[in-house]
Amino acid sequence: MDNSLIILSVVIVSVSILAGALMIWRLSVGLNSLNASVQQAVLDKPDPAQQLQLKQISEMQHTVLARLYEQQSYQEKRMGELSSHLSDKLSKNRETFDARQLESLKAQQENLTQGMGEVRKQLSEALQQNARQLGEKVDALTRSTDERLKEISTQVDKRLNEGFEKTTATFADVVKRLALIDEAQKKITALSANVVSLQEVLADKRSRGAFGEVQLEALVRNMMPENSFSFQHVLSNNTRVDCLLLLPEAGGNIAIDSKFPLESYRKMTDIECCESQKRQAEKQFKIDIKKHIYDIANKYIIPGTTSEGAVMFIPAEAIFAEIHAHYYDLVEEAQRVRVWLVSPTTLMAVLTTARSVLKDSATRKQVHLIQEHLLALSRDFTRFQARMDNLSKHIDQASKDVSEVNISARKISSRFEKIEKVELSNAQQEAMISHAPNDSPE
């Protein structure tokens, strides 16, 4: 506070000195200006009064300036004294401030030391309390963990036992399946032998022809009635066809012949053959198929004996697909001469259609029998209607009779009720007479 007052006093004195200096400068400037204007007026128009006035102004200027300089010197001296006094005062105040600051620091240090001791004590107590709580929680967690471990151990034992049982059952099942696999392996071995024998069969042209005929016969026997086909049938031109479907006269009999062009197809698909060999095999394959088509068209389409078309049965689905995918000109050529190419799958559709035709023909042959049965059924229904009308009349008459019988029964019941009431009234009268008082004297 003292330092602030000292500094404020120094500032005020400094401002006063500056204000005095400024005032002196302004007065000096004003007097100089006045003196200059008066001198100029005297020079323009010399006048003793103005000269006297000029002299008085000059003297007054010197007097004012002297007094101002004296005042400034006094203020500077006063300022020096005040500055010295203020310097001494500041030194004393600094020493006092340093002493007070040192005492304050010592007091703060003592308070800090005391506070640190209390904080250390509180921290020690808090740590001890936390240690106790942590110990209790650890004990509880240990107990909970032990219980959980016991439960887990029990569940693990249970699941292990179940797993052992399932493993045992699975192992037994695996043993059974291994036995089945062993049997399947034996069957595969046998099948491999059959495949080898099948390859040997397919290697020979006659064997391939027999294989196709057997497959054709199996399909036809499974799909068609027994009296609707003939195998190795001899036609009117003395040619023998593998199968002849005996269909109604409207469509005619259909000849089915089996063809198995395997040699050229194998060369076409053999990866070991070069490109030239494959191209040669493709040409030969096309020639073989076309030859088979025209052989069937010329041999098995006989006007008046067979239908207007014949069927070429190809036992291998792969060969059938190859023809339709890459040799569609052969398919068109076959359709032009009315030879229909079929595989085992498409032959099923042809046979299904033929069976439907046979069934439809048999149905048409039995139409007159169905009409006779319908007429007889109509006559029976007419008689049934007449008898039903008679029965309805009898039922109506019986209903009327039952109603009249019910009326008679109600009347009879009513009369019986009246008779019972009369008998009851007579019995009451007799009882009253028997209980009347005796008037005769004793």
10 confidence band (pLDDT: 50, 70, 90):
low
Contact assessment for residue 252 and residue 308, using Cβ atoms and an 8 Å cutoff: yes
Whether residues 159 and 233 share a domain: the answer is no
Is residue 411 one of the residues assigned to a domain?
Answer: no
From 203, 219, 249, the end of a domain falls on: 203
Whether residues 191 and 227 share a domain: the answer is no
How high does pLDDT run on average in the chain?
76
Whether residues 142 and 84 share a domain: the answer is no
Whether residues 175 and 215 share a domain: the answer is no
70 confidence band (pLDDT: 50, 70, 90):
confident
Is residue 389 one of the residues assigned to a domain?
Answer: no
Is residue 10 one of the residues assigned to a domain?
Answer: yes
Whether residues 86 and 174 share a domain: the answer is no
Mean pLDDT of 346-355: 88
Q: For residue 45, how far is the Cα from the chain centroid?
A: 121
Is residue 384 one of the residues assigned to a domain?
Answer: no
Whether residues 259 and 171 share a domain: the answer is no
Whether residues 168 and 51 share a domain: the answer is no
Of 438 and 12, more confident: 12
From 65, 90, 115, the end of a domain falls on: 90
Which contiguous run of DSSP H or E holds residue 244? strand 240-245
Contact assessment for residue 306 and residue 254, using Cβ atoms and an 8 Å cutoff: yes
Query: Which residues, including other chains, have CB under 8 Å from residue 237's CB and lie 6 or more apart?
Result: 299, 302
Is residue 119 one of the residues assigned to a domain?
Answer: no
pLDDT at 195: 43
Q: Which contacts of 35-44 are long-range, i.e. CB under 8 A and separated by 24 or more positions?
A: 35/61
Of 433 and 233, more confident: 233
Whether residues 219 and 178 share a domain: the answer is no
From 47, 64, 90, the end of a domain falls on: 90
Euclidean distance between CA atoms 16 and 160, whole angstroms: 107
- DSSP string covering 121-167: HHHHHHHHHHHHHHHHHHHHHHHHHHHHHHHHHHHHHHHHHHHHHHH
Of 202 and 259, more confident: 259
> The CATH number of the domain where 282 resides is what?
3.40.1350
Domain of residue 301: give its range: 205-372
Whether residues 6 and 42 share a domain: the answer is yes
pLDDT at 439: 45
What is the tens place of the pLDDT at every residue in 14-56?
666 666 666 666 666 666 666 666 566 656 655 666 667 667 7
- Say whether pLDDT at 197 is over 50: no
How many structural domains is the chain composed of? 3
